[in-house]
Every structure is written in C-alpha cells, then in structure tokens.
C-alpha cells in the first residue's frame, strides 16, 4: 500500500505542476502587483512547497519503515489539503475570485488534481495507521 500512496502522490503532483505552470504562464505572479487575482502568491507557492516536503517525508518513511515519518507526512499533507481547499474554493467561486490567470484552468485538470489529492490524503492516513500496527 505504501508504494500505491507514492504512485497516487506523484499523479497528484503532476496534475498540480500542470496547474502551476498554467498559472505562471498566464501571468499569475505579475498579477500580484495589480491585485487582479485572488490567488496570493504565498498561498499558491506554499501549497506545492509543503506537498513536496510531505512527499519527502513519505519517501523517508519508505526508506526507513519508521512510522513517525508517515505521520509527519500526514501532518504536512493536512496543511497542504487545507491550502488546496482554499485555492479550490477561490477558483470555484468565479467572479471576483477567478479573474486572473487561474480562470484558464481546465476543469479536468482541477478535478484530477483534487480527486487524486483526496485519494492521497486518505491513503496516507490508512498507510500510517497500518504502519503503527506492524
């Protein structure tokens, strides 16, 4: 199961990377100065940065078998999920929220990233729980 988590986490990361590239290519950082976007750069950049840190903790868990790494990864992933939910609600709100580079996000990419993110969250929780029992 631990390796399935890694696979799903990588799929989630790739979909998220696609969205980040679209946001940057659409001028997401430039729009910060004019306040055309409701996606603050700190929020947009913290979400993937924490996700990468959590993935690193998960890889440490895979390498050592120490369940404390799995639980640390879950803790970081909880923060990532909260940031992601904030981004999603701002994007979903449309109108004043989705008026910058983020309005060009393909619905399929957002859905894939969100569904894979939820799957990652649940699988990490289950795997961390099972790792404690071994």
* pLDDT, one tens digit for every residue, the chain (134 residues): 888 999 999 999 999 899 888 878 877 666 555 555 567 778 888 999 999 999 999 999 999 999 999 999 999 999 999 999 988 887 776 545 445 666 677 788 888 999 999 999 999 999 999 987 76
Distance CA 106, CA 132 (A): 39
What pLDDT sits at residue 95?
47
Q: What three-state secondary structure class fits 15? A: helix
What pLDDT sits at residue 86?
87
Distance CA 14, CA 113 (A): 8
Structure tokens, 86: 């904030």
What pLDDT sits at residue 19?
85
């Amino acid at each position: 199961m631990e390796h399935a988590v890694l696979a799903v986490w990588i799929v989630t990361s790739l979909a998220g990377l696609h969205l980040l590239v679209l946001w940057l290519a659409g001028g997401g950082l430039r729009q910060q100065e004019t306040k055309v976007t409701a996606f603050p750069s700190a929020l947009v950049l913290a979400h993937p940065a924490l996700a990468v840190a959590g993935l690193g903790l998960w890889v440490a868990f895979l390498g050592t078998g120490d369940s404390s790494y799995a639980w640390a990864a879950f803790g970081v992933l909880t923060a990532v999920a909260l940031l992601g939910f904030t981004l999603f609600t701002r994007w979903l709100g449309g109108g004043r929220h989705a008026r910058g580079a983020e309005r060009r996000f393909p619905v399929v990419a957002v859905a894939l990233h969100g569904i894979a993110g939820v799957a990652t969250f649940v699988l990490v929780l289950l795997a961390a729980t099972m790792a404690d029992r071994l």
